[in-house]
Structure 1
Amino acid sequence: MMGPAGLLPTTLAAEDEAALTELYRRGTPANTLRAWERDLAYITAWKAAAFDAPLVWPESERVALRFILDHSVDLAGGAANPARQTAEALMAAGLRRSLDCPAAATLDRRIASWRAFHRMKNLASPFEAPLVAQARIKARRAVARPRVPKSPRPITRAVLEQVLASCDDSLRGLRDRAMLSLAFASGGRRRSEVVALYREDIELGEFDAKGVIWLRLLDTKTTDRSAAPRLPLKGRAARALIGWIQATQIEEGPLFRPISRAGRVLPRRLAPDAMRVILRHRLQLAGLPADYATAHGLRAGFLTQAALDGAPLAAAMQLSLHRSAIQAQRYYADVEISDNPATDLLG
């Protein structure tokens, strides 16, 4: 995995550069490091294709502006031009999927990475220049598209009940029931958060007396280890997790693990993509299309169900760990607008 090595100021002593590189590795979420790695590869290839030159630090405003312009136009079906030739070179390298205009969020993320690389070198970013910053704002508006949900449908309680009914008492059934129940009931956990759980993150001390299990989330998209949240798990979800732990006798290490064809629980943790694969399989067993919903549907379903049940938004956010009330409110708005009295004015 890439770290910031090679991006740090060249004036540092070798031992200081190594120490700072390690600090970046430990202080940056793994998902962010992976995004930096992908973005650095893309930016480097784009600069080589567009200017036949390597990256320089700090980068020029001209290059930054060209990057925005190249990624703010639909190149499919157009005449050959430098932007299209650059895009075709990136497609040939496997770094770009099509000539379609990239989403605004993709452009924003790559610019954010490029700015982060400048900060690592203690340099000013060209994207802060007034002309470049204004071009970025215009580009974001020009390529704006209707918001596409991360899951075709939310997995609400009724849908989850169908999925859980497909889980038998085999080890796979126990694991899938516990994992999917936990993901929904603890606030709509992201798949990366679920597969990253360790047995040491599960506190069972209050289960016998109060029926509550506490989960500790060391790394999430919105928090870090210094503020690791503790979330409660109750009812059927808690009992499902107890059933998995008791059946496997897992006392330490990864909480959710692969199961071999021979039915043995393996010592390693699930792959990052495992929850998506498991959910697709369970949807099919439940008689639903495999693409009915994605793993993010559990997160969307939690908030949608909270709105349907009349739970206050603040209470739902306390579990979902959304930082933005505006983002979480979207799920509530879809439910609340259908019950708005103003929709019945004509009778």
Structure 2
Amino acid sequence: MPPLPLPSYAALSVADEEALAALYKRGTPANTLRAWERDLAYISAWKAAVFGQALVWPEIERVALRFVLDHTVDLTDKPGSAQDAAQELIALGLRIKLTCPAPATLDRRIASWRAFHRMKNLASPFEAPLLKQARAKGRKAAARPRVSKSPRPIDREMLEKLLASCDDTTRGLRDRAILMLGFGSGGRRRSEITNLYREDIGTEEYASKGLIWVRLLETKTTGKVDAPRLPLKGRAARAVIGWIEALAIDSGPLFRPISQSGRALSRKLAPDAIRVILRHRLKLAGLPEDYATPHGLRAGFLTQAALDGAPLAAAMKLSLHRSAIQAQRYYADVEIEDNPATDLLG
């Protein structure tokens, strides 16, 4: 049955809905907004393909349940309306194949759908007990082995190989600073690196302590109100300061594109630039370009912390993981014979 309608005094006016949507947009990271847009396009196309109707707000439980059921089964050898809809989505470029999507993908799309309801101050059908039970059963049925976001973590040994490929040219100085900051400040995500501005780097303590502070205005787990300041010291701090001084950067984007002539441009790096830079450095280091991905910096920081015996809580203060269970996975990936706890007796 559909959710009960809100009483008239609780319903938002059109102006209120627009103001609330604008508030969500201002307070939501750009990457999340892009994911919401993709998910809304997918959900809208799916409902049109299955029911021949547009989305309604609030959505009815029957539609939400069908969405869950259609996305927790492999449709490759299952002719019918669900397969027809999936093939239409593939033709539109919104779906890749007929096999069952990863549970995490379904969870993200449902989370987006729920967010759209919250923006309109409406109850989500996914709160119904039947929907919760169907999601739990579907997640269990579609479970698959966890696949790392990077083929390999960029630990200290691999990082040193990448750094050795960085010379003293403008490009080399930039790439060295990016790799050092990305690893040394806790394993930063691509967007966190490319969104840094010179104003986010505090150098007040560099002369006395060799320490700089990196402010992250927006991350996956924090916002502008609680923007964390993370310490960066030693070689990593010197690499960042060397880049700033080489270009005399006093404002604007911290890391910038380099022209073919070796001149640093004034604009910020593109969101995908870190992947391109890493592939270039891997090739120069004599490794396959797909040997690791930018997430390897994040995985490598936590892996190296585990190898060095750093407490998980201490590593999480830099990585900014909210979930100890998620961060613990990197510690669990360390080979048992390399675990520092095996050397307690020398």
Class of the TM-score when normalised by the shorter of the 2 chains: over 0.9
**In the alignment, is residue 292 of structure 1 matched against residue 294 of structure 2?**
no
- Quote the residue 2:4 is aligned against: none
The alignment partner of 2:333 has SS state of: helix
Checking the alignment, whether the CA contact within 8 Å between 2:202 and 2:214 is kept in structure 1 is yes
Letter in 2 for 1:240: A
Note the C-alpha offset of 1:332.
1.4
- Quote the residue 1:190 is aligned against: 189
Bigger CA drift: 23-32 or 147-156? 23-32
The alignment partner of 2:212 has SS state of: strand
- Quote the residue 1:48 is aligned against: 48
**In the alignment, is residue 225 of structure 1 matched against residue 227 of structure 2?**
no
Letter in 1 for 2:36: W
- Quote the residue 2:95 is aligned against: 96
Note the C-alpha offset of 1:19.
3.2
Checking the alignment, whether the CA contact within 8 Å between 2:307 and 2:338 is kept in structure 1 is no
Q: Structure 1 CA distance, aligned partners of 2:148 and 2:136?
A: 23
Note the C-alpha offset of 1:342.
12
The alignment partner of 1:116 has SS state of: helix
Note the C-alpha offset of 1:340.
6.8
The alignment partner of 2:231 has SS state of: strand
Note the C-alpha offset of 1:21.
3.1
Bigger CA drift: 120-129 or 265-274? 120-129
- Quote the residue 1:34 is aligned against: 34
Q: Cα–Cα, structure 1 residues 137 and 273, in superposed 2: closer, same or farther, change >3 Å?
A: same
Q: Structure 1 CA distance, aligned partners of 2:209 and 2:137?
A: 55
Note the C-alpha offset of 1:319.
0.7
Structure 1 runs, 4 residues or longer, greater than 6 Å off? 340-343
Letter in 2 for 1:189: R
- Quote the residue 1:66 is aligned against: 66
Note the C-alpha offset of 1:133.
1.4
Q: Structure 2 CA distance, aligned partners of 1:175 and 1:47?
A: 47
The alignment partner of 1:209 has SS state of: helix
Q: Structure 2 CA distance, aligned partners of 1:59 and 1:46?
A: 13
Map 1:1-347 to 2 at 5 A. 11-14=12-15, 16-76=16-76, 78-335=77-334, 337-339=336-338
Aligned identity (percent) is: 74
Q: Cα–Cα, structure 1 residues 339 and 184, in superposed 2: closer, same or farther, change >3 Å?
A: closer
Q: Cα–Cα, structure 1 residues 153 and 13, in superposed 2: closer, same or farther, change >3 Å?
A: closer
Checking the alignment, whether the CA contact within 8 Å between 2:307 and 2:340 is kept in structure 1 is no
Checking the alignment, whether the CA contact within 8 Å between 2:210 and 2:237 is kept in structure 1 is yes
The alignment partner of 1:335 has SS state of: coil
Note the C-alpha offset of 1:130.
1.5
Letter in 2 for 1:41: A
Checking the alignment, whether the CA contact within 8 Å between 2:161 and 2:285 is kept in structure 1 is yes
Letter in 1 for 2:75: L
Q: Give a deviation string over 1:230-288, Cα, whole Å, max 9, x none.
A: 11111111111111101111111110000111222111100001001100110010001
Q: Cα–Cα, structure 1 residues 340 and 299, in superposed 2: closer, same or farther, change >3 Å?
A: closer
Letter in 2 for 1:97: I
Q: Structure 1 CA distance, aligned partners of 2:302 and 2:247?
A: 31
The alignment partner of 1:227 has SS state of: coil
The alignment partner of 1:232 has SS state of: strand
Letter in 2 for 1:143: A
Checking the alignment, whether the CA contact within 8 Å between 2:20 and 2:119 is kept in structure 1 is no
Q: Give a deviation string over 1:151-195, Cα, whole Å, max 9, x none.
A: 111111010000000001110000000001100000011111000
Structure 2 residue runs of 5 or longer lacking an equivalent are 1-9
Q: Structure 2 CA distance, aligned partners of 1:333 and 1:92?
A: 41
Question: Over aligned residues, Cα RMSD in angstroms?
Answer: 1.7
Q: Structure 2 CA distance, aligned partners of 1:170 and 1:341?
A: 39
The alignment partner of 1:293 has SS state of: coil
TM-score by length of 1: 0.93
Letter in 2 for 1:220: T
Q: Structure 1 CA distance, aligned partners of 2:65 and 2:14?
A: 34
Q: Structure 1 CA distance, aligned partners of 2:340 and 2:84?
A: 55
Q: Cα–Cα, structure 1 residues 64 and 21, in superposed 2: closer, same or farther, change >3 Å?
A: closer
Note the C-alpha offset of 1:10.
8.1
- Quote the residue 1:4 is aligned against: none
What number of residue pairs does the alignment pair up?
333
